[in-house]
Chain A
């Protein structure tokens, strides 16, 4: 039996305080009545009201949401395909280049990815806007999706799919009926990861957005450069709560699903025994 020493308890407490206090302070000050962010002048929700009146922020939020859904969906399809290629396709010409192109964007500094995509769009003469941000986000997010999905595919028992093929399934329906349900949790978490990365991205979006489209991070960044404002605090609080609810919800759901699966397996084992 391991026991936590005082050192362990202290380092965990201080560590998690460090991770969470800045966000807690941000949330508390979003309810501050004063315009001055550092002076507490009583509880108020007026900054939330002002935020909802701010058309520029609402427009940016809408653009961000559209980009996020489109890019993460595309990235999930492409990333799952790439994961199948990496794990299943065996040898083909240019395999090394392919896996290089999957892993390189994960370590590539955002400024370089953004710059290179901007130069591509300009040399192709593509007008920059929502469409180009979607292309850019899809490209880097698909690499993350393929890493998540391929780590699940590696542990997947391929004989299940072969059995389906032997029993007369077409390759596509074998994938849809056998493989996809099994890798679904990884595909879903890949989508969520892609979506968060897209919502979060400032640098690549700034390069590829052009003047016609503004995403929420671009808007926040330009506002923040002028200093702290309670409106931004309110906006951040809303975003933090959405993420917290989403992450905690999904993790509880997957936990319950795992428990159910374990129960089913045990029941099946008892029935077989």
Chain B
């Protein structure tokens, strides 16, 4: 009895506020757009009983999904989201790995402080961290003024409202997610392996590529997924830094819903985005599972 009440409260909470809403999205994605409130048909009318359910069922179709494949906007948005997420993940790895490596090499007494310095930005508002780049990257921004003052450039660089600004934004906000798993993999690395390799005539660089990189691979993979997965559905970064030229699917969904008020298409966009996300999520979980088994 005690167990039942313990299980049922969070269970029903999640059923009603997580699973059911998602089923509603699925249902609306199969409905037709209508000029009504709410702006879609059919709505399920339970008062008509079974006949009502059958009528509801027969009116559902895949029209919205067909529409998504026909309009080039959606194709481009999905592809460009994938591309932006992939490039940003690669950049985050290139920036994050040396930091994680440096942390793992640092003296023991520094490490808690370094850890805290990596985690602290994560507690700071995401929106503020993205916003802080607007003042830096804009045409009269801090970066351009600095470079002009140095004399490196003659005319201000246009970075704001381009994909480059979005890459910078994603790398900046998700960098802790890349650093932490790599650091925890590198920290566990047995230093005597490297010494053995050097004793056996390996150069330091070669030992790094042959030992450090393969042994930190689970951390690298985890970090990449932790950046790639949220970056794919990102809304705030492209809408603040990317301008109107940068297409990302999270932004398209938002505009479809709030600006065009096309709920069925917005729902279909959401369903397809989730279908795309399932692949990296499963791969990520497999990686975690493997690591847990290796740890036992």
Which residues of A approach B to under 8 Å, CB–CB?
2-5, 7-9, 11-12, 15-16, 18-20, 22-23, 25-26, 29, 37-38, 78-79, 81-82, 84-85, 89, 92, 94, 97-98, 101-102, 104-105, 107-112, 115-117, 119-120, 122-123, 135-136, 138-139, 142, 146, 171, 196, 199-200, 202-203, 217, 220-221, 224-225, 227-228, 232-233, 236, 239-240, 243-244, 246-248, 251, 255
Contacts and interface: CB of A to CB of B under 8 A. Distances in A.
Interface of chain A: mostly helix, strand, loop or mixed: helix
A200 B125 contact: yes
A236 B131 contact: yes
A19 B120 CA distance: 10
Given A101-B14, A116-B22, A196-B123, A225 B7 contact: no
A236 B125 contact: yes
Interface of chain B: mostly helix, strand, loop or mixed: helix
Given A38-B140, A117-B21, A139-B17, A4 B131 contact: no
Nearest to B125: A200
A89, A116, A247: residue with the most chain B Cβ atoms closer than 10 Å: A116
B218 interface: no
Interface residues of B, number: 82
A228 to B, nearest CB: 5
Contacts of A92: 3, 7
Interface string B225-255: 0000110111110011000000000100110
A3 B118 CA distance: 21
A224 B134 contact: yes
Contact of B235 (A111, A136, A248): A111
Interface of B: 2-3, 6-7, 9-11, 13-22, 24-25, 28, 38, 95-96, 98-99, 101-103, 105-107, 112, 114, 116-121, 123-129, 131-136, 138, 140-142, 145, 172, 175, 191, 229-230, 232-236, 239-240, 250, 253-254, 257, 263, 266-267, 270, 273-274, 277, 281, 284
A110 B116 contact: no
24 contacts: A2-B105, A11-B102, A12-B114, A19-B172, A20-B121, A26-B131, A26-B135, A38-B145, A81-B9, A107-B284, A112-B253, A115-B257, A119-B24, A119-B263, A138-B17, A139-B18, A142-B14, A146-B10, A200-B126, A220-B128, A224-B131, A232-B131, A236-B132, A239-B125
A228 B138 contact: yes
A117 to B, nearest CB: 5
Contacts of B105: 2-5, 8
Given A92-B3, A116-B22, A200-B127, A109 B277 contact: yes
B125 A199 contact: yes
A217 to B, nearest CB: 5
